[in-house]
Structure 1
Amino acid sequence: MEMSELTALLTREGLTLLDELGPVTSAAEVARAVSRLRAAGHSPDLVSAVVGQARLRVKAQPKFGEFAERMLFTRAGLEQATRLPIATLHAVRLRQAGITAVADLGCGIGGDSLAFAGAGIRVDAVDADEVTAAIAAYNLSVFGDEARVRQAFAEEALPDDPAVAVWLDPARRTAGHSETRRVAASDYSPSLDWAFDVAASRPTGIKLGPGLDRDLIPADVEAQWVSDAGSVVELVLWSGALSREGVRRAALVVRDGEVHELTAPADADDVEVRELGAFVHEPDGAVIRARLIGEAARMLDAGMLDPQIAYLTGDAALTSPFVQSFRVREVLSAHPKAINQALRANDIGRLEIKKRGMDIDPASFRRKLTLKGSQATTLILTRTPSGRVAILADRV
């Protein structure tokens, strides 16, 4: 979005037109809406802004739910924005640590600031981009003076009071409001070195991509990987009063509206490899990223299926929120012919395919299988110390 479009949108006419337009869910609907609004005599800037926002509001619903209907976005800002339920967990941590004021340096469209302000924390939100800062100001306007937004660089906006917490979400994509690409950690803005210096002197949360090179993580912060509905969505580094004593590794798992967490003072020791048992457990991605597989395994009385692959196995009829568990039905050769024979014998017509440690494209492999039955199961393609196997299993 260009400033001319935003200026046209932030008028009574523009906002009314946006509300009247309603959801725009497809490219075809975009084309029809543009034609209709232009025919009605609206300016090109206003039409572009209104239709673009209507489309972004639809795309924002998985992150912001019903709140998306009253928010404004840029495409790039929405991509990097924190999902509102996760932002709420960030706000809860700040409140539990006794934080009453936070500087959100690199606030984007204001996703985390919304949660902070909603939790009663005074917010000073800053973004270097003029358009993005203006959109954040609109999104946070309901909180009045308790959520101030301004355009500035993070490095220029560090609060003088060291008791004020800092939230940092460094830009991890090239500049722009629409088509952007990811950049290397060395090109984050503000830089990681600057962010880590801030974290060393005051309570700080730094939101980063979950794939950050672990060698870059300072030794004196708490590293928390977060997954939501099975997808690892972020890594947050917590320092000062926002970090927990004795915790340096954490896996926070949000699933079906419930929150579960596995913590440890360091990377967990691995467990021994054992023969395939009655159950296979797939650790959540946050557990894998946090290197807490050993902790999850000990909870389940399980061992590694292979020393290099994140599958656990055991005979105990146990599961936990930190894994997906499967009861082994049959172990087969990983050859399509053998698998097809088992599928026919078990009347399998619906198949979930999971794989680790094997150079196989599940979509291509599926085309080699005959699925005509009435039953459903899971096919796990993996490697063990004794070779490649295909495991038919049922979710627990």
Structure 2
Amino acid sequence: MNAFEVFGKELAEDCQWWTSANGQSVWTSLLASPAFQPTQAGMDKSTLRRRLDFLRLQLSFQTSAKQKFPDPERWFWTRQLLEQSSDFWCATESAQDFPAGELVADLCCGAGADAIALARRSKQVLACDCDPHALQLASLNAAMHGLDLKFILNRAESVELSRDSWIHIDPDRRAAGKRATFQHAFAPEWKDVESMIDRCRGISIKVAPGTRYEGDRHPPVVRFLSRQRSVRQQRWLWNLDRWPQDSIVVSAMSRESWHHEIFRRSECETSECLADREVELKNYIGDYDPAFRAGGVSAPFAERLGCNILFENGYLTSGAPLEHPLVRWFRVLELTSLDRKRLAAYSRSANARTWELKSRGCDIDLDSLRKQLRTDPTSDRTLTLLCTRVEGKNRGIIAEEVHGLPVV
């Protein structure tokens, strides 16, 4: 049995054609010229139309897919599955949480981004989904990448797995029609996921960055993954030994490399007092990756760097910039009020070609404010306006980014 026969004869034949030399030739031609009108000897018109309609639909996803995958032309999607999918870099990185050369079951696999990343380092990947369309796309994507996965059309809680299996699962967080922010609204039900935790060797549960665990059986490792300064996903890990137990892990991609900061829960508890007090602004202000805020570890991160934090989850401040791949440092030029006339007056003499506007801890319409700041097209200077709280008051910090820092 080939990988496509689970879908029935007609769809299996379509899948085989899409991944065949003929199908790929048509797909390549459509990518180059969307108006291309192929003919296929021996294929009736309705079959050709159905197969071309699918490929033309895929053309509409290429721009979005480029943001998530380095090879978007080798992936097939629905819009929803593309939006929900792990990107290539996060999928590849999180797959390393599992030991290499093992059997891994990817439950609720969707279009297969995580399953394919897992297959590149595993002995065998079993990809399961209860949606036949999703499983069809996963099988197509695996074939497009030359990978051999086993596919099962079933509900995650109904799949029979041996106790030597490792599990990756991306539960449906919209089962009730709206996005769930706690695990008891997932599908499969949390009691079924807990049963999986008990019977497998180790498990990685993918959840949204803002999801908070409710209950006594807290994940031994909670991991936040960020790319391009956007928190992409959160992982709850049980019995996976890559990271220390009872820890929060921040993993962020910067300059094409992954960087990791590991925080023991006890370390986070002792640092909470640092975030409770307002501190004065020093000569430099630091903007760190948002994954630290998502993980609630801003204060222990500031303590680790040896600097202060303006307020809970606020900007860092220090007498000197401290080199770290996940922090952008700015030299403070002026501390001012957020009075728009005053800011506009400053901008007239600042000679800045561009203004970068950022805010944290205060409610302000940055788009409206940006329109009031003057720019100088003859200048090559970029200034940053950080709108935030300083010693309990909403203030504007005019600053200039520091580049080429030596390691301190």
Equivalent residue letter for 1:244: W
- Partner SS, residue 275 of structure 1: coil
Paired residues of 2:287 and 2:315 also in contact (CA < 8 A): yes
Q: Of 294, 299, 304, which residue of structure 2 is paired with 1:294?
A: 299
1:361 and 2:362 aligned: no
CA distance in 2, matches of 1:144, 1:260: 30
Q: CA deviation at 1:243?
A: 6.0
Q: Of 101, 107, 110, which residue of structure 2 is paired with 1:108?
A: 110
- CA root-mean-square deviation: 3.0
Q: CA deviation at 1:217?
A: 8.3
Instruction: Report the TM-score when normalising by structure 1.
Output: 0.85
1:237 and 2:236 aligned: yes
CA distance in 1, matches of 2:32, 2:85: 20
Equivalent residue letter for 1:321: P
Q: CA deviation at 1:6?
A: 8.6
- Partner SS, residue 302 of structure 2: helix
- Partner SS, residue 320 of structure 1: coil
Q: Which residue is equivalent to 1:128?
A: 130
| Structure 1 spans left out of the alignment, 5+ residues | none
1:378 and 2:380 aligned: no
Q: How many residues align?
A: 377
- Partner SS, residue 122 of structure 2: coil
| Structure 2 spans left out of the alignment, 5+ residues | 1-6, 40-44, 403-408
**Residue correspondence of structure 1 range 94-243 to structure 2 within 5 A:** 94-95=98-99, 100-141=102-143, 146-159=148-161, 161-173=162-174, 182-183=179-180, 185=182, 186-202=184-200, 203-215=202-214, 218-242=217-241
295-304 vs 140-149, which moves further: 140-149
CA distance in 1, matches of 2:157, 2:307: 48
Equivalent residue letter for 2:278: V
Q: Which residue is equivalent to 2:42?
A: none
Q: CA deviation at 1:370?
A: 2.2
Paired residues of 2:75 and 2:144 also in contact (CA < 8 A): no
Q: Are residues 316 and 145 of structure 1, via their aligned partners in 2, closer, same or farther at CA, if it must alter by over 3 Å? A: closer
Q: Which residue is equivalent to 2:4?
A: none
Q: Which residue is equivalent to 1:346?
A: 350
Q: Deviations over 1:91-150 (max 9, x none)?
A: 22212xx56110101111111111111113310110111111112112223788852112
**Residue correspondence of structure 1 range 245-394 to structure 2 within 5 A:** 245-266=244-265, 267-268=268-269, 269-270=271-272, 271=274, 272-306=277-311, 308-372=312-376, 374=379, 375-394=381-400
Q: CA deviation at 1:335?
A: 0.9
CA distance in 1, matches of 2:356, 2:290: 18
CA distance in 2, matches of 1:21, 1:173: 34
Paired residues of 1:171 and 1:188 also in contact (CA < 8 A): yes
CA distance in 1, matches of 2:355, 2:225: 28
Q: Are residues 143 and 391 of structure 1, via their aligned partners in 2, closer, same or farther at CA, if it must alter by over 3 Å? A: closer
CA distance in 1, matches of 2:143, 2:329: 45
Paired residues of 1:5 and 1:49 also in contact (CA < 8 A): no
- Partner SS, residue 207 of structure 1: strand
Q: CA deviation at 1:194?
A: 2.5
1:21 and 2:25 aligned: no
117-126 vs 308-317, which moves further: 308-317
Instruction: Report the TM-score when normalising by structure 2.
Output: 0.83
Equivalent residue letter for 1:162: R
Q: Are residues 217 and 166 of structure 1, via their aligned partners in 2, closer, same or farther at CA, if it must alter by over 3 Å? A: farther
Q: CA deviation at 1:242?
A: 4.2
Q: Deviations over 1:195-245 (max 9, x none)?
A: 234224430000110010244684242100110110000000110134633
Q: CA deviation at 1:285?
A: 1.1
Paired residues of 1:205 and 1:242 also in contact (CA < 8 A): no
CA distance in 1, matches of 2:69, 2:362: 37
Q: Deviations over 1:174-204 (max 9, x none)?
A: 69xxxx9745644432233422342244300
Q: CA deviation at 1:255?
A: 1.2
Q: CA deviation at 1:309?
A: 4.5
Identity of aligned residues (%): 24
Q: Deviations over 1:252-274 (max 9, x none)?
A: 11112111111112135232532
Equivalent residue letter for 1:285: P
Equivalent residue letter for 1:290: G
382-391 vs 285-294, which moves further: 382-391
Q: CA deviation at 1:46?
A: 3.1
CA distance in 2, matches of 1:224, 1:276: 31
- Partner SS, residue 237 of structure 2: strand
